[in-house]
Amino acid sequence: MAFTSILRKTANSLAPLAIRLTRVERSYQSCIFTALNNTFLSQQSTVSRFYPNTPHFSTAVDSPKAASDESLLRVIEYEIQCAEETDEFDRVEETPSGFPFEIKDTPGLQTITLSREYDGELIEVYVHMPDLVTGNSGEGENDNDDEDDSEKPSRSSIPLVVNVSKRGGPSLEFSCTAFPDEITIDSLSVRNPDSEDELAYEGPDFYDLDENLQKAFHKYLEIRGIKPSTTNYLYEYMINKDSREYLRWLKNLKKFIEE
């Protein structure tokens, strides 16, 4: 499968990212311990070398905050270094030929927007960060967590919201989940631009619809570009975006502490 080959291709370089996104334990502790330890030894050495006989109580009010900020900065700088070395944050995925959408990727947001016009319709797709599932997911868990584990997804996926609208009229909104070589429709609703009533009837549960109707809506999305060949590319695109956003977040933290 195309999606499986993508996972196999990027497994080594994206393992730390996959672990971060699924909230599996990531080895932040080693970075933090190393940075904190270096900070403590550096401060202790500096004070002993230049001020061997100076009483420390003279700066007791200011030193806890200054020491804390300095230690935090060292940890953040070390984590930035780790992110730059392990994550392919600057890699740009080549858009495959025939990709039907225009991509709008705003730095700092956790979603991207796809858009296209199709036979008088405006199609917009809001793509969220992927939910990654690794091969180690669930290992080492206590038996008491079996119930929680059963609610976790068993396959990596991408959440999508697809909006199909006609000029000046209502729109169809699909909530979808893209799995490897499969796209499921979780819900379907009709949106009226003149009404934002939260209590408006949104139709039955999609899985309660007639099976033939479900298949027809899957075909409806497919001919508008919502198909596995599209979502497989988006999967890797969003993994790289997460790396970039994580690094940007770290640098913003550093800037705030320094100011």
Q: Structure tokens of 128?
A: 């969220």
SS3 228: helix
Percent composition of the chain: helix, strand, coil (DSSP 3-state, to 5): 50, 20, 35
Helix 28-50 to helix 63-86 angle (10° resolution) is: 140
Answer whether 14's CB lies under 8 Å from 238's CB: no
For residue 131, what is the DSSP state? B
Answer whether 101's CB lies under 8 Å from 231's CB: no
pLDDT at 248: 93
pLDDT at 181: 84
pLDDT at 26: 41
Q: Which long-range contacts (CB under 8 A, 24 or more apart) does 79-82 make?
A: 79/28, 79/31, 79/250, 80/247, 80/250, 80/251, 80/254, 82/31
Q: What phi and psi values does residue 160 have, to the nearest 5 degrees?
A: -130, 145
pLDDT at 192: 82
Q: Which residue has the tokens 């080959």?
A: 5
Low-confidence residues of the chain: pLDDT under 50 = 1-33, 35-36, 39-41, 43-52, 54-61, 137-141, 143, 150
b/e map 168-182, b = 16+ CB within 10 Å:
eeebbbbbbbbbbee
pLDDT at 197: 62
